[in-house]
Amino acid sequence: MSTVPAPVTTPLFSVRDLKVHFPIHRSGGRVVRAIDGVDMDWSRGETLGIVGESGCGKSTLGRTLLGLQAPTSGEILVDGKPLAGADLRALRRRVQMIFQDPYQSLNPRQTVGALVMEPLAIHDIARGEERVARGVATLESAGLAPAARYWDRYPHELSGGQRQRVVIAAAMALEPEALICDEPVSALDVSVRAQVLHVLIGLKRDHHLGLIFITHDLGLAWALCDRIAVMYLGRIVESGPAEQVIGDPRHPYTQSLLSVVPSPYPRAQRRQILAGELPDAANIPTGCRFHPRCPKVFDRCPTDDPRVLIPSGPEGHGTACWLVEKSGG
């Protein structure tokens, strides 16, 4: 009895050996290696968490995926086709970005209604009363109901959480298939973070959205994401299903990040505090770039660079660490 092979689904985004370097003026050719060899896939409907310390390249990666930052080298494929030369206007209708600071994302001279309808005007979607109706619906779907209460207000008249909901509503007005969320709640008060996250989760469920969730909070990534990619100094050092990465972290950097996540049993928690600061991205260490801070460094680490993720568990769990190879995965 013959079997029909499962269909191969092309990822929404595929990234191969992506590099984004910024030249340092008057430095004799030195560059900041913000992204320095990233490989990743992002599937439709998937929530992918990208986590790491400030300065590791998370935000640059998100911006580069949408063509807001030009890559230095490497390849980005959208639906299997090169991003280079693609219609960026059409791409940005399909994939919207939500930035960290909602106040910086909103024109202070526009009302909420104008802000929500602006993407529709830019892409010439709907007109007149139909455009207004669509703006009202998307505003209320983002948790600002009734819309009439907010429609004629300006950003300075709103709270931080309300501003971020307006940003989300404006993005959703285009009915995108995916959102790239760059620290979308880190600038908000703790009391309203859960409300905004609840809005994003509801929109994902109702519209079958794919999400990239960029954050420094591993606990938040665990709660929200299907897969997690841990970045350090311009590279992904561990990647896999969220339960695998959080429940069985293999890279010493991931282990260190998790060890300082607050626990309900603090006496049983063994903290692994990293030594020193994140190195300068213009002067990346030789060998494994984490070795100067690694509590498990051994003789191979300062000289050999683990450039690819070594299989370290089931379901695509990979780790860029020689300890994994040494232990046989």
Nearest-10 crossing angle of helices 112-122, 128-141: 120
How far apart, in whole angstroms, are the C-alpha atoms of residue 133 and residue 137? 6
What's the pLDDT at 189? 85
Q: Kindly report the CA angle at 256 between 255 and 259, in degrees rounded to 5?
A: 85
What's the pLDDT at 271? 61
Which tokens sit at 184?
């979308």
Strand, coil or helix: 207: helix
- Which residues in the chain land under pLDDT 50? 1-2, 4-7, 264-268
Interior/surface letters 114-144, b for 16+ CB within 10 angstroms, e for the rest: bbbbebbeeeebbeeeebbebbbebbebbbb
What's the pLDDT at 274? 72
Which tokens sit at 138?
């998307």
Query: Has this prediction a pTM greater than 0.85?
Result: yes
What's the pLDDT at 1? 44
What are the Cα distances from residue 79, in Å, to 42, 91, 94, 105, 120? 10, 11, 12, 28, 24
Query: What ranges make up the beta strands (E) of 185-232?
Result: 210-215, 227-232
* Distant-in-sequence, close-in-space partners of 137: CB < 8 Å, separation ≥ 6: none
What's the pLDDT at 153? 97
The answer to whether 238 and 250 are in contact (CB under 8 A) is yes
Which residue blocks in 123-180 are alpha helix, DSSP H?
A: 128-141, 160-172
What's the pLDDT at 265? 44
Residue type, position 216, single letter = H
